[in-house]
Structure 1
Amino acid sequence: MKTLILIVAAVCLIAVGVGGSYWYSQQNPQVAEPTRPLFFPLERFVISVDSQHHSRYLVLELTLVSHDPVVLAMLQDAVPLLRNALVQHFSNSQHLDVKNDFKDIPQVQAQLLHEFNQALRLHKFSHQIEQVLVTNVFIQ
C-alpha cells in the first residue's frame, strides 16, 4: 500500500512539474538571440564615366550583407552576375550624374540592392541579398 501511495505521489509530482514547466514556457517565451550579419566584400569595381573633356572614373567598393550563411556561399558563384549588373547600372552614366547620385548613398545602395536581387532572380538563384553597403567610393 505504501508503494502504491509513493508511485501515485511520484506521478503527481512529475505531472505538476511538467505542467508548471509548460505554463512557464507559455508565459515567458524564449526570445531567439539575433544572429550577427555576415559580410561578403566584392572586389574593387572601376568603370569609366562620360565626361566632355577628360577621362573620368568611378571606383567603387561594395560589401553585401546577409544573415544566412547559405546566401554567402551562393554569392561566390554569382559574382559575375553582380559585376555585370554594376556595369549595366553605370555604363551610360555621366560624371556629374554619378557625383550627384553619390550624395545620397542610401539611395544608391537601395538601387544596387534591387538590381542585384533582380539579377539573381532572373538567373534562378533562390536566395536574396539583404543589404548592399558602399564601403568606399572615389569619383575622379
Structure 2
Amino acid sequence: MSSTKSNSKRIITALLVVSWTAGIFWVGWQSPKLIGGPFEAKEAEVKSAQFYPLDKFVISIPGDEYPHYLLLELALKSRSQNVESTIKQADPVIKNSLMKMFSHKHFNELNNAQQFESLQKEAHGLLSTVLAENDFAIELDDVLFTRMVIQ
C-alpha cells in the first residue's frame, strides 16, 4: 500500500510539474496578447483622407447691370475623426460663411478661371476659422469646389 501511495504521489507531482510547465509555456507564448502587445513592432497607422460632399446651394452675386447667380457644390477633405457628424452639425455655419464670402465677390472676379485656386484657398481658411470659432473640433485638409456655375 505504501508503494501505491508513493506512486500516486509521484504521478500527482509529475502531473503538477507538467501542468505548471504547460501553463507557464502558454502564458509566455500568449504574453504579447495578454499584456497588450508592447513587444511587437507596430506600424504607425496612416489615416487616409476622406471627402465629405455638401449639398449644392445657390448664391446671389452682384454684377454690373443685374445680379447673377452662383450654383456651388463642394467637398471638404479631412483626416479627423467624426467629421461626417460634425459637418452635418456645422452645415448652417459653413453655408452661411460661404454665402457671405461669395456675396462680397463681383461677377467678373468669379467668372475668371484664374481665380479658382485662390477662391478655394480663401474658402479653406474661412471654414477652418469658422469651425474653430464655433468649437467644431475637426481639421480641414482642403476645400474642393466640385461644381461652380455662374449665370
Tell me the TM-score normalized by structure 2.
0.66
Identity over aligned residues, as a percent? 18
User: In 1, Cα distance between the equivalents of 2:94 and 2:144?
Assistant: 14
| Kept after mapping to 2: 8 A contact 1:48/1:55 | yes
User: In 2, Cα distance between the equivalents of 1:81 and 1:20?
Assistant: 47
CA pair 69-31 structure 1, distance change in 2 beyond 3 A: closer
After superposition, the CA RMSD in angstroms is 3.2
The gaps in structure 2 that reach 5 residues or longer are 1-12
Equivalent residue in structure 1 for 2:52, among 23, 39, 46: 39
- Give the CA deviation at 1:89: 1.3
For 2:143, the equivalent position in structure 1 comes to 132
- Give the CA deviation at 1:83: 2.0
The gaps in structure 1 that reach 5 residues or longer are none
User: In 1, Cα distance between the equivalents of 2:136 and 2:80?
Assistant: 14
| Kept after mapping to 2: 8 A contact 1:42/1:64 | no
Equivalent residue in structure 1 for 2:103, among 82, 91, 111: 91
User: In 1, Cα distance between the equivalents of 2:84 and 2:44?
Assistant: 25
Tell me the TM-score normalized by structure 1.
0.70
- Give the CA deviation at 1:81: 1.7
CA pair 129-27 structure 1, distance change in 2 beyond 3 A: same
- Give the CA deviation at 1:112: 0.8
User: In 1, Cα distance between the equivalents of 2:149 and 2:83?
Assistant: 28
| Structure number with larger C-alpha Rg | 2
